[in-house]
Amino acid sequence: MITGNRVSTRLWQVVGNAVLLVVIFLTVMPYVYMVSASFKPGDELFSIPVKIFPDSLYWGNYDLLFGKTNFVRWFFNSVFIGVSRMVLAVVISLMAGYAFAKFDFRFKNPLFLLLLATLTLPIYVLIVPLYSMMVAFGWTDHYIALILPLAAQAIGVFLSRQYLLSIPDEILDSARVDGAGEWGIFWRIIVPLSAGYRRDGDPVLYCLLERLHLAARGADQGSDVHRLPRAPYPGRPLQPGVRGRHGRLVPEHGAHHDHLPDHAAALYRGNHPGRGQGLAVLRTLLIGEDRYG
Amino acid sequence: MQPQVDEAQQSGASKTAPGGIAPKRPWGGRRSTAAPYLFLLPFFAIYCTFLLYPTFSALWLSFQEAVALDTPSFTGLDNYVRLLDDERYLHALRNTTVYALASVFILSPLALAVALAIRSFLVPSANLKSFYRISLFMPFITSFVVIALMFSLVFNKDFGLLNSFFRSVGLPRLNWLRSEQLAMVSIVLVGIWTYLGVNSLYFLAGLQNIPHELNEAAAIDGANRRKTFFYVTLPLLRPTILFVVIQATIFSYQLFEIPFLLTNGGPSDATLFLSQYLYEVGFSQFDRGYAAAIGYSMALISILLTVIQLLLYRRFNR
């Protein structure tokens, strides 16, 4: 850094990393102990000098799990329910997000507000009535009871919408010029463009970073602060320059050349999936437009 | 938002467009009215059936006396009045609030400290930085059931990892999960263990949005590290702090699995949380109306606290 005392810098680095490594050790230790316990017979697990590692690898617990129980089936249940819910959620959220991002229609804003409002409700409120519904439908003990009710998550619509705002209208318009129907555009343009999202970069941090743009940039739709991103984002499908050229390609077909400044701003604003959720949502709902200083 | 006039022009333009673009499309053109609704339909069908309907149904239920299979009868606000006199409810509310306070005032500062350390000159190598990030993130993607299982092994009085460590350094063995004083401490520790990583990732993301130039400018102006932190970093980090605090509060009031599995609310209700009380009332005592009222009270508390935090933040920011 800027202050030059090298020895003290090194010393601080050693101390700092030692502390961090202790934190990591505390984080990892329970996992290690759980895995090691799975290789111990019961009496060794509950014996007095507690050993972190087992005396010898005991496979009995795994024999029990795979041989005597229905574990394979349980695992299948989890995978099946997880994958079905995911596929369903991705498709319907992307469809709804597409409608909110790329169409103007009556009741657009009321419907969007309705979506926002339910984000604050804890799931526990719904448990009792949901259970009664499942009983009424005769869905208890069926996969569908676990798949369908939780497939429509408002958060998915927000993420899709925020991301899809960054796809230039001109791409969609040129597909229309080429005779594609709305359904075809969705499957052949929207879905492939969304699939490449977050292909590179540190996935975890990138995702969180994106989420936090709502807080850091103060830029949801209500805000009038549109700062440009400092670096290109991996999720951005096109560079801004490209869309400018496309904008000239189809002017007679209602390209928004008269809205270009607006649109360019939307391109930047819409670049950060997930920004419309949570905090910004509440902020917009509760205190109207606001600007972070 | 495109104005209506624009819409008319667009459709007019496309009809007269050279090259004869077919106006007939199975899903309608961009300006047609049907397409967006059709795209919204599957989502809203599921959403209204399984989210909106139960939400209002629960609200209605909370105004009723509905026990087991008896026919529900309307009792107005009775269920909510009952909450104020219910000692177990108030006790659970107190426990949950203690946990929420701990996660705001202990967990969040710790996470900030970890994030600052990882971000700072203390960790010079990028690989080391991502090693820390990834290891800290692990608990967040671990199922609560697994976490509870791991900590039942760690906190066990006679055979647990923690007590065996305590004994080896000459400290007394403690009854982590079965003593009224310590059980809450244990739950808070598990909470910190679970959420430390993800919260420091939020802070790391926030720190990344602060341009380096500002720190450099402060250094040129003669500010030391401590001053830079208090006068540059911390003020610019306010939105992130707000976000972390709000989500920590909301998560705290919804915590269920860990106390339920680790201590089952005991000993003698020392770790009874609101969500577990709701579960007991709704699914063991089958008092559905009262359970719905508890659920709505939890939602109201979360919303109220969020509003207070937002207002404080707004005031503070002027």
Kindly determine whether residue B51 and residue A126, on different chains, have CB atoms separated by under 8 Å. Answer: yes
Q: How sure is the predictor about B96, in pLDDT bands with cuts at 50, 70 and 90?
A: very high
Which residues in chain B (168-197) have CB-CB distances under 8 A to chain A?
193, 196-197
Shared-domain flag, residues B32 and B85: no
Nearest to B247 by CA among A292, A281, A158, A286: A281
Shared-domain flag, residues A134 and A24: no
Collapsing DSSP to helix, strand or coil, B280 comes out as: helix
- Number of domains composing chain A: 2
Residue B103 covered by a domain: yes
Residue B69 covered by a domain: no
Shared-domain flag, residues B180 and B278: yes
Closest chain A CA to residue B69:
A132
Mean pLDDT of chain A: 67
Shared-domain flag, residues B218 and B281: yes
- DSSP string of chain A? --S--HHHHHHHHHHHHHHHHHHHHHHHHHHHHHHHHHTS-HHHHT-SS--SS-SS---HHHHIIIIIS-HHHHHHHHHHHHHHHHHHHHHHHHHHHHHHHH---TTHHHHHHHHHHGGGS-THHHHHHHHHHHHHHT-TTSHHHHHSTTT--HHHHHHHHHHHTTS-HHHHHHHHHTT--HHHHIIIIIHHHHHTTT-SS-HHHHHHHHHHHHHHS--STT----PPPSS--TT-SS-HHHHHHHHHH-GGGT--GGGHHHHHHHHHHTTSTTTTSHHHHHHHHHH-S----
Shared-domain flag, residues A275 and A170: yes
pLDDT of residue B108: 93
DSSP type of residue B3: -
Kindly determine whether residue A111 and residue B40, on different chains, have CB atoms separated by under 8 Å. Answer: yes
State the CATH number of the domain containing residue B310. 1.10.3720.10
Residue B72 covered by a domain: no
Interface check for B116 against chain A (CB to CB < 8 A): the answer is no
Closest chain B CA to residue A93:
B43
Which of A20, A35, A128, A282 should be substituted to probe chain B, the one whose Cβ sees the most B Cβ atoms within 10 Å? A128
Interface check for B139 against chain A (CB to CB < 8 A): the answer is yes
CB-closest option in A122, A202, A218 to B295: A122
Q: Which domain holds residue B49?
A: 27-62
CA distance B109 to chain A (A): 15
Structure tokens at B193: 């263990």
pLDDT of residue B103: 92
Residues A24-32, mean pLDDT to the nearest whole number: 89
Quote the ipTM score. Answer: 0.74
CA distance A199 to chain B (A): 18
Cis peptide before B267 (omega within 30 of 0): yes
CB-closest option in B14, B154, B299 to A120: B299
Residues of A in contact with B139 (CB under 8 A): 27
- Number of domains composing chain B: 2
Range from A8-17, B118-127, B258-267 carrying the lowest mean pLDDT: B118-127
Q: How many CA atoms lie within 13 A of B7 on its CB side?
A: 13
Residues of B in contact with A121 (CB under 8 A): 55, 299
Residue B8 covered by a domain: no
CB-closest option in B10, B42, B123 to A92: B42
Query: At CB < 8 A and 24+ separation, what contacts does A21-24 make?
Result: A23/B114, A23/B136, A23/B196, A24/B132, A24/B135, A24/B136
Mean pLDDT of chain B: 82
Task: Name the percent of chain B lying above pLDDT 90.
Answer: 17
Shared-domain flag, residues B87 and B54: no
Kindly determine whether residue A182 and residue B240, on different chains, have CB atoms separated by under 8 Å. Answer: no
Among A122-136, A185-199, B187-201, which range has the highest average pLDDT? B187-201
CA distance B116 to chain A (A): 11
Q: Which amino acid is at B191?
A: G
Structure tokens at A79: 């995978």
Question: Does the structure show a pLDDT above 80 at A128?
Answer: no
Q: How sure is the predictor about B35, in pLDDT bands with cuts at 50, 70 and 90?
A: confident
Q: How sure is the predictor about A154, in pLDDT bands with cuts at 50, 70 and 90?
A: confident
- C-beta separation of B136 from B110 below 8 A: no
> pLDDT tens across A224-281, in order?
333 333 333 344 333 333 333 333 333 333 333 333 333 333 333 333 333 333 333 3
Residue B186 covered by a domain: yes
Closest chain A CA to residue B310:
A283
Shared-domain flag, residues A227 and A166: yes
Q: How sure is the predictor about A4, in pLDDT bands with cuts at 50, 70 and 90?
A: low
> pLDDT tens across B53-92, in order?
888 888 888 888 878 777 778 888 888 998 899 999 999 9
Among B7-21, B82-96, B138-152, B200-214, which range has the highest average pLDDT? B82-96
pLDDT of residue B204: 87
For residue B60, give every residue at least 6 positions away whose Cβ sits within 8 Å of its Cβ, in sequence order, or none.
none
Shared-domain flag, residues A191 and A119: yes
Q: How sure is the predictor about B94, in pLDDT bands with cuts at 50, 70 and 90?
A: very high
Closest chain B CA to residue A10:
B122
Range from A33-37, A50-54, B174-178 carrying the lowest mean pLDDT: A50-54
pLDDT of residue A149: 85
Kindly determine whether residue B123 and residue A20, on different chains, have CB atoms separated by under 8 Å. Answer: yes
Collapsing DSSP to helix, strand or coil, B1 comes out as: coil
Residues of B in contact with A208 (CB under 8 A): 198, 201-202, 204-205
- C-beta separation of A206 from A269 below 8 A: no
Which residues in chain B (43-72) have CB-CB distances under 8 A to chain A?
43-44, 46-47, 50-55, 57-58, 61
Residue A79 covered by a domain: no
CA distance A241 to chain B (A): 23
Q: Which domain holds residue A39?
A: 6-69
Residues of B in contact with A87 (CB under 8 A): none
Task: Note the pTM of the prediction, 2 decimals.
Answer: 0.70
CB-closest option in B39, B150, B239 to A31: B150
> pLDDT tens across A51-82, in order?
778 778 888 888 888 888 888 898 898 889 88
How far from B209 is each of A209, B44, B205, B303, CA to CA, in Å? 9, 36, 7, 28
Shared-domain flag, residues A213 and A155: yes
Residues of A in contact with B22 (CB under 8 A): 179
- C-beta separation of A232 from A239 below 8 A: yes
pLDDT of residue A161: 83
CA distance B214 to chain A (A): 14
